[in-house]
Amino acid sequence: MVFIRPSDVPFPQVWWRFTVHKDGVPTPLRVQDLTDDLVEPCIDILRENFTRDEPPCKYIEINKHPSAVAELVKLWRNTIKDKFSIVCVEDKEQNPQIVGVNVLTVVCKEDKEEPFHTEDQVWAQLFGAVELVANSVDVYTHYGVDKYLTAYGLVVAKGWRGLKIGAEILKARYLFILFCI
């Protein structure tokens, strides 16, 4: 069974609001559903920041392998379509700057396990490592659940780091879980 966002949970929705002090100035931010108009800018932030700084991506130097980056971007795009991903933006109406992105999906015990296949060796190395860690514990048995929220990337844009924004995005995920799962 592929999990579908419950119809009684409005989309789009703001999940969390908070304020950071950037350069000494209070800056209100919000975490909201990632809407279609923000997909491309969010993909750009992920491509620029996540692929450069996320430890496994950095270790294998994924940015030196365009086809591996393309596979990762494809994963993000397909996952974002599920309407579970969230984005952190400035809490203002006109042209809010994107501050962070979290690509999310819900995995269900009944989901059909699709075999992983790729021609790209670098992507196979990266995804294989992630899959090895993910399969090292039976989440369903360990936590006594039949579904859970998982992520394919959490990133805060470089100019916004050090303000605990990632922790605030995780708080929004908790609220999302309460209402959607």
Q: How far apart are CA 45 and CA 41, in angstroms?
A: 6
Over range 38-47, report the average pLDDT: 97
Domains of the chain (ranges, CATH numbers)? 14-180 (3.40.630.30)
14-22 vs 86-90, strand pairing mode:
unpaired
Q: How far apart are CA 18 and CA 172, in angstroms?
A: 10
Determine the pLDDT at residue 1: 54
Yes or no: say if 126 and 67 are a contact pair by the CB < 8 Å rule.
no
Over range 95-124, report the average pLDDT: 86
Determine the pLDDT at residue 18: 98
Whether residue 177 has pLDDT greater than 80 = yes
Whether residue 59 has pLDDT greater than 80 = yes
CA distances from 165 to 2, 50, 162, 168, 170 (A): 30, 15, 8, 5, 9
**3-state class (DSSP) for residue 23:** coil
Q: Using a pLDDT cut of 90, give the percent of the chain over it.
A: 75
What does the chain come to in residues?
Answer: 181
Over range 122-139, report the average pLDDT: 81
> For residue 90, what are the contacts with CB-CB under 8 A and spacing of at least 6?
27, 28, 29, 30, 96, 97, 99
pTM: 0.92
User: To which residue do tokens 């790209």 refer?
Assistant: 120
Dihedral angle of Cα 169, 175, 176, 181, to the nearest 10 degrees: 140
Q: Using a pLDDT cut of 70, give the percent of the chain over it.
A: 98
pLDDT band at 113 (very low <50, low <70, confident <90, very high): confident
Burial class (CB in 10 A: 0-12, 13-18, 19+), 181: middle
Whether residue 127 has pLDDT greater than 80 = no
Determine the pLDDT at residue 60: 87
**Rounded mean pLDDT of the chain?**
92
